[in-house]
Amino acid sequence: MPDVGFGAKWRDGLNMTGFSINPGSSFPLGAKVYPEGVNFSLFSKGATKVELLLFKEIDSSRPERVIALNNRQHRTYHYWHVFVPGLKAGQLYGYRVEGPRAPEKGARFDPGKVLLDPYGRVVAVPPGYSRELASRPGKNTATAMKSMVADLSRYDWEGDQPLKRPFAQTIIYELHVGGFTKHPSSGVLPEKRGTFAGLIEKIPYLTDLGITAVELLPVFQFDAQDSPPGMVNYWGYSPVSFFAPHQGYSSQQAPLAVLDEFRDLVKALHRAGIEVILDVVFNHTAEGNQLGPTFCFRGLANEVYYLLEPEQALYADYSGCGNTLNANQSIVRRLIVDSLRYWVEEMHVDGFRFDLASILSRDEKGRPLENPPVLWDIESEPVLAGGKLIAEAWDAAGLYQVGRFVGDTWKEWNGKFRDDTRAFLKGDPDTVTSLAHRLLASPDLYQHKEREVEQSINFVTCHDGFTLNDLVSYNHKHNEANGEENRDGSDHNLSWNCGVEGPTDDPEVESLRNRQVKNFLALTLLSFGTPMLLMGDEVRRTQQGNNNAYGQDNDISWFDWGLVDRHADVHRFVKKLIRLRLHFDKASLEHDMTLTQFLAQGKIDWHGVKLHEPDWGPESHSLAATAVSLTGARVFHLIFNSYWEALHFELPQLPENTFGGWRRLMDTALPSPEDICEEGEATLVEEPTYLAQQRSVVLLFSAIGPKG
């Protein structure tokens, strides 16, 4: 318990009742529960007056008690603190902070607004919450979000710990907590649809699919009203807290219940052998630009938390969302690292994917830093050692750092893999050389760093952009539902509709689309690196051509579970392919093997339609490769034909110590269940050539060594 010091008196905002309190302690930040009461501590530079507000109800128009903190007793440096006896977990609270109102100098104090605790573990959202009122002058007490005191010490983890699975054994599945079970076809009870509890019920599906890690779109409390009129912020990239789980994902009404429900989810996933990676947004907040609302940081120390333009009334916007966190400022650095530690220590998550991570490399003037302090703080934090750190190595202002992101342990979303595999399978010219790089974990991007093969996170689709089904069904985006006359979203999709725009009953077009979907999945799961799949791609989930569905909390974004049966052949294909990858363990790569060592030790021969004659020219659309596993137990032969006609590929002669000949594990041109099989079911290939059909991927193998 903090040092109680000398007693002080505060007066109740309603009935003026005296109550003994003490100054409390500046550490720890936030609201800390002790047997005798609660210690509150808040950072607010430049404040002239701070009041702690205690509420009885979430939508109270007036606080039940107001505790005025004075400079002499309740302030240490820029930390305002107080210990209040008798308070317990479940207490609603907020802050009222006075200070200079001088936007031209970066100061935006607003004593009319109830402010959240930046370190608050729970955010309570009133039924009448209004972003609009938080953006206007004047009070918004009844409609403001409030913090709630939480005690996390009583949860029984039953021995659970983060799994620390090697990246070499990882299959990532990016999913949206709400969208995964909101559709009525999910079979989840209505009160659990779109919640952490609902997701728990679908863990057997993930296990059966072969997923080893889920990457959850943002689960920090976000502002669902941060969107154009008539829409909602569905994705959640609009944080109001970096510690509180999102109330909208709780199946229960009591605000504190979300803590246990999230931990129940993590514990259940771990029991199933599935890691939990959180998509975290430390590049901006929901407070937006100079016209945005005041929730927290803006009203505490605006010029500390945000990057400002030389005209300090305006916000620097490297996020595309109105503001940019000042991530390399010492206070903000501490906030970020404290948040990450909290989610690992208290919530047991296994890792993080950092949205627009390149922003974290910018200094207080917005300039890129060679060695950004916050990124090294994160990497060197002992609590995070052994966990997963994944960077989206670009930002909305053009800083692109794929292959150049700082650090020794960070993995990167490989946008080059996405674009080059799309271009190759689309049939674009001059793509074969790039394809070879992507198959080998992108040595053109990563070999100079002497890092492990798995540094490249390989993906073709993610939440942002077309789904895999739409990638092969639309030439153009169709974002009319977003209300911006189809102006939003990227125009550079590298998609191909296979001859018809949108849904079709043409069996030939549908067959080709199915094959292209399998081709993309095969490239993702057979390439060296760490594969990531998008929720629903394994059953051809569609967003009706919408490539920017951030505000579509409806059928456009939800997982339609009827697709599992409708596209059972693709679902089966993905399951088999994942099992093949994990069974062969990607040629038994050692977890600590660098990309350079792999390329030096791996026995890889490139071919075209003729052996040892790969065509690297701009008009080439095919490639073949033979590789011996590092253990020497198997030899593989891969054929990639993106040409619009079938091609005969010469097959290499097998070494004398192989047995059984070439056997076919996969051919995406064949109907299910012939398209892919288990090792023991592989079909013998007796001809010296293999006829690879137009736009197909083929995998052959042979065992090495004495039979048996």
Structural tokens at position 389:
């750190």
Positive/negative CA dihedral, 137, 142, 145, 147: positive
Spell out the residues 6+ positions from residue 248 whose beta carbon is closer than 8 angstroms to its own. Answer: 125, 178, 194, 224
Structural tokens at position 343:
């989610």
* Burial group, residue 594, by CB count within 10 angstroms (0-12, 13-18, 19+): middle
In this structure, what are the phi and psi dihedrals at residue 700, rounded to the nearest 5 degrees? -115, 155
What is the tally of helices (H) and strands (E) in the chain? 16, 29
Q: Which of 355, 377, 395, 452 is catalytic?
A: 355
CB 618, CB 429: distance < 8 Å: yes
491 in active site: no
Pairing mode, strands 146-148 and 122-124: antiparallel
Nearest of 220, 233, 219 to residue 321 by alpha carbon: 233
In this structure, what are the phi and psi dihedrals at residue 440, rounded to the nearest 5 degrees? -100, 30
CB 695, CB 519: distance < 8 Å: yes
Local structure of residue 471 (DSSP, 8 states): H
The helix or strand, by DSSP H or E, that contains position 260, with its residue range, turns out to be helix 257-271
In this structure, what are the phi and psi dihedrals at residue 65, rounded to the nearest 5 degrees? -140, 150
The helix or strand, by DSSP H or E, that contains position 596, with its residue range, turns out to be helix 595-601
Phi-psi region for residue 618, left (φ > 0), alpha (ψ -120 to 50) or beta?
alpha
The helix or strand, by DSSP H or E, that contains position 10, with its residue range, turns out to be strand 8-11
Beta bridge pairs of residue 10:
19
How far apart, in whole angstroms, are the C-alpha atoms of residue 39 and residue 42?
A: 10
392 in active site: yes
Q: Which of 392, 412, 420, 454 is catalytic?
A: 392
Local structure of residue 60 (DSSP, 8 states): -
Dihedral Cα 182, 188, 190, 193, nearest 10 deg: -30
Whole-angstrom CA distances from 485 to 378, 480, 557, 621 are 41, 5, 19, 36
Pairing mode, strands 696-704 and 146-148: unpaired
Nearest of 492, 480, 512, 682 to residue 584 by alpha carbon: 682
E runs forming strands in 600-704: 603-607, 622-628, 634-641, 647-650, 658-667, 683-684, 689-692, 696-704
Whole-angstrom CA distances from 682 to 51, 568, 656, 667 are 72, 21, 20, 11
Active site residues: 355, 392
